[in-house]
Structure 1
Amino acid sequence: MVKVKICGITNLEDALLACDLGADAIGFIFHEKTPRHIRPSEAQLIARSLPPFVTKVGVFVNMPIQELGKICETVPLDLVQLHGDEPTEYCRQVDRPWLKVFRVSDEFDVSQLAPYKAIGFLLDTFNQERYGGTGQTFNWKIAKEAKRFGQIILSGGLNPQNVSEAMNFVKPYAVDVCSGVEAVPGKKDPEKMRRFFGEISCTAKSR
């Protein structure tokens, strides 16, 4: 069954509901230029309250490697998500398992994934103004093509209305949702989350 990551968690209530509904991973965003930003001290408290087999993911955007390391010392992260323009030299210095994010436009060349020795690749929608949280999808044919380079985590504009179609078309290793299950930026909508997981469950059973 496809794995599910709920990203942009800022409070314990949302985190625990996501886990109760079946989330495999919870994402904490440490990039300050987003309303979904969370302080390391807050993320630490939430992370310590999660069930033992839920993966705790830290999302970073072009952060100096020393700062990233300090956050990893504070928050019990299992996985680092590099969501910026980090070169391979930077990635090799990360002392946790890591995902590399690529922001996909119609002209995206999937061969860009090749030099990165990541445990997986998260594909998000390209936006000139921001890193993630756009609420917009991209051409999923590109995600299908990218699967030859490794495990693909599909992101970008997923919501209860389109996640089933995305799963059937791309057949990704995992799906990642943030704004698609929010009430407002930084606060999840419980009903949207339930519908999102319900669609995933129904789609998995129909295969």
Structure 2
Amino acid sequence: MSVAGPAGRGRPMRRGRGLLDRQAIVAAALAVARTEGLPAVTMRRIAEELGCGPMSLYRHVADRDALVLEMLDVVAAGIDIPPPSPDPREELTGLLTAVHSALAVDHWAVLPLIAEGKSSPLILPVLDRALAALTSSGLTGRSRLAVHQMLWQYVFGELLWTHHDQPDSQGKRMVRAAPADAFPVVADAVRSAGGHPAENFPDNLQRLLDGVLAPR
């Protein structure tokens, strides 16, 4: 695994279970985040995973925020970005789907991206291509930026919704128990529901692009 960014300070040290350097620290943090979520990623926990003391980590990463940024670099570097397409719909579909696929694996990354405003500079080529596609579709100025933001809001919002979707949540029990005589449309929707919400991402993305790319 390659980690973007400047090289860590100091010489790698042999501690506990293996070589202690920035790459090992970020790899351990990613493993914890992928299995237990980002809140479980603490300097103490990562030190335990690596068999060293927490202070040893600070030779290589400044603090937890810096570690999270390193983790986001790895996620961004792992996005399977498709070749450019001159067709705006194909270009946007490919870019947004690629990011969605990466974040579906590293779903822990969604909250720091949207709630904390963190990001990786490695995502800038994707943003530039998405904006270029919107430009070629005829959007300019504030409209172009507003549509660009709306598309990413859909990607992130869908990931939050599907990741936290629980088959027997309190909200779902409430909806299923809604009396059909009082809420007939809700009851009909419950009857017709099927599959996991994540399955709807491709079709809903196209519905969104139908409106975004409609002739003006």
Same fold (TM over 0.5): no
Relative contact order (alpha carbons < 8 A, sep ≥ 6): 1 or 2 greater? 1
Q: TM-score w.r.t. structure 2 length? A: 0.27
Q: TM-score w.r.t. structure 1 length? A: 0.28
Larger Rg: 2
